[in-house]
Chains A and B, each alone.
Chain A
Amino acid sequence: GESVGLHLPTLSVQEGDNSIINCAYSNSASDYFIWYKQESGKGPQFIIDIRSNMDKRQGQRVTVLLNKTVKHLSLQIAATQPGDSAVYFCAENWGHNTDKLIFGTGTRLQVFP
């Protein structure tokens, strides 16, 4: 069915470590994927995106990996900081050429000193 899921609802990491947040998507026809960060009391904020013709994309301290074979998406955050504490959502556009995004339920990242 239409679903974008996350393996871990909560991830706790020590400041300075790398974080990896995973996501499984369900529609093999989806060709665009986004990661959002949502801090408490705020709306989701765009972090990074990737299209299906790529398997890796890097931003500032963040990397998104796409494995189309197993329909898996991950967000890697390098040198995690307290300011990275938030809920992270992955989203896919539901099929080619649609404007509808399907969101996962979110993973909470907690960074402790």
Chain B
Amino acid sequence: DVKVTQSSRYLVKRTGEKVFLECVQDMDHENMFWYRQDPGLGLRLIYFSYDVKMKEKGDIPEGYSVSREKKERFSLILESASTNQTSMYLCASMSQTYEQYFGPGTRLTVT
């Protein structure tokens, strides 16, 4: 079974802090994704990556950056956290047949 893990389930940070969210998948998938999920808005794509060192902006990239130094790891970075970035963050890895496998999510609260 595909396993996607995220570094933290719950995280509380202060406004202005730099935040790193880590995601690791064990299926050698090339495509990985970061989403945020908010009530009434569903999943919105922040960034995705086709391969190591490659990244593409999603629908809401502002305030975020990403890093893909190794194929199995895709990191989401909040350079200066703000309260409107309080959300559930979901990482996904995609197979060649388009199936996306999600991690358990990180619930981030910015105070």
Contacts and interface: CB of A to CB of B under 8 A. Distances in A.
- A and B interact: yes
Interface of A: 32, 34, 36, 41-46, 49, 89, 91, 93, 99-101, 103-106
A46 B105 CA distance: 15
A49 B99 contact: yes
A41 B92 CA distance: 16
Interface of B is mostly: strand
- Interface size bracket, B side: 20 to 34
B100 interface: yes
Given A43-B90, A43-B104, A43-B105, A49 B98 contact: yes
A109 to B, nearest CB: 16
Interface of A is mostly: strand
A105 B41 CA distance: 6
Given A32-B98, A104-B42, 17 more contacts: A34-B98, A43-B4, A43-B90, A43-B102, A43-B105, A44-B43, A44-B90, A46-B101, A49-B99, A89-B42, A99-B31, A100-B48, A101-B98, A101-B100, A103-B43, A105-B42, A106-B42
B98 A99 contact: yes
Contacts of B98: 32, 34, 49, 93, 99, 101
